[in-house]
Amino acid sequence: MKVGTARAIALEWVKEYASREVWFHGAYFSGSTSEKAEDEELPVSSDVDMSYSYRW
SS3 43: coil
pLDDT, position 55: 87
Based on its alpha-carbon atoms, the radius of gyration of the chain, rounded to whole angstroms, reads: 12
Range of the domain at 30: 3-40+48-54
For the cut 90, the answer to whether the pLDDT of residue 56 exceeds it is no
Among the listed residues 1, 56, 9, the one whose alpha carbon sits nearest the alpha carbon of residue 29: 9
pLDDT, position 47: 93
Q: How many domains does the chain have?
A: 1
pLDDT, position 51: 95
pLDDT, position 45: 92
Residues 5-44 pLDDT 10s:
999 999 999 999 999 999 999 999 999 999 999 999 999 9
pLDDT, position 43: 92
Residue 27 contacts residue 53 (beta carbons within 8 Å): yes
